[in-house]
Amino acid sequence: MSLVLGLDLGGSSIKAGAVDVVAGHVVGPLDSVPTPPHAIPGDVQQALATLIARFPQCTGRIGLAFPAVIKAGVACTAANVDHSWIGTDAARILSAAAGRPGIVVNDADAAGVAEMHVGAGRGEHGLVMLLTFGTGIGTALFVDGRLVPNSELGHMEVGGREAEQQASARVRTVEHLGWPAWCERVNRVLAAYDALLWPDLFIIAGGVSERWEEFGGLLKARARIVPAALRQTAGVVGAALYAAAQVTR
């Protein structure tokens, strides 16, 4: 069994798991630590080191799903982490925390990699768009199974406002929106993506996907819409799969 450690940095916690990258699933339970307040680089590095030390069975490269545009390991934006991350070599910080090479990937892209390999997107062709609904809206695009990285279309304007400012899961909670009202907003966002990209499939991911049975039937789009299959493990699994793929290049 080939185990790779995958980590997923979220707004409230950092999750980690040992991933069998051949089978594409977590072996054993996930572990987590709270995301440090303000999530500045030094504090995040210490939190990562704490988590990594709990997985002595994973000795090779490590993958981290990170909430930012990532270019050659460097964070070019900062979402739900301190803005001091912008221009910071996130891969170097991960590697220092682990004492061995670390690979960093955009968090929505990581979730998409997992879903395309072993989840709802497996075997799908054409253009697949994964959306993660959480504090914001993350997006991942795949063309015939190949990742188009760092799409960040949650920031696209829909009706004069950023998509994530009107239809994220956080907005639903803060504005006390019921499922019908929230899905009406999500449907406007999906229609905008439909008109721009003409995807063949939308995959709905993020914590909200755990409640798919309550709202899934209210979503409408030209493209097919399905829930993510891996739910809370998608970022961890995708980060590990992404890191494993870099080793072989």
d(CA 249, CA 238): 17
Contact 55/7 with Cβ under 8 angstroms?
no
d(CA 198, CA 160): 21
Three-state secondary-structure class, residue 192: helix
pLDDT tens profile 96-117: 999 999 999 999 999 999 999 9
Tokens 């799409």 map to which residue? 151
Q: What does the buried/exposed string (b/e) look like for 30-51 if buried means 16 or more CB atoms within 10 Å of the residue's CB?
A: ebbeebbeebebeebbebbeeb
The reported pLDDT for the residue numbered 247 is: 58
Taking the domains of the chain in order of start, what are their residue ranges? 3-109+233-247, 123-228
Contact 28/70 with Cβ under 8 angstroms?
no
| Mean pLDDT, rounded, of the chain | 96
Average pLDDT over residues 143-153: 97
**What is the CATH T-level fold of the domain 123-228, as seen in this structure?**
Nucleotidyltransferase; domain 5 (3.30.420)
pLDDT of 137 higher than 50: yes
Tokens 């829909």 map to which residue? 158
pLDDT of 248 higher than 60: no
| CB neighbours of residue 23 within 10 Å | 11
pLDDT of 236 higher than 50: yes
Contact 236/4 with Cβ under 8 angstroms?
no
At 122, give phi and psi (nearest 5°): -60, 130
pLDDT of 17 higher than 70: yes
Q: The dihedral of CA 22, 145, 141, 223: what is its sign?
A: negative
DSSP secondary structure, 122-163, as one string: TT--SEEEEEEESSSEEEEEEETTEEE----GGGSEETTEEH
d(CA 97, CA 45): 6
Q: What is the CATH number of domain 3-109+233-247?
A: 3.30.420.40
pLDDT tens profile 67-95: 999 999 999 999 889 999 999 999 999 99
Q: Do domains 3-109+233-247 and 123-228 have the same CATH topology?
A: yes
Cα–Cα distances in angstroms (integers) from residue 28 to residues 31, 92, 240, in the given order: 9, 28, 15
Q: Across the chain, which distance is largest between two alpha carbons, in Å?
A: 50
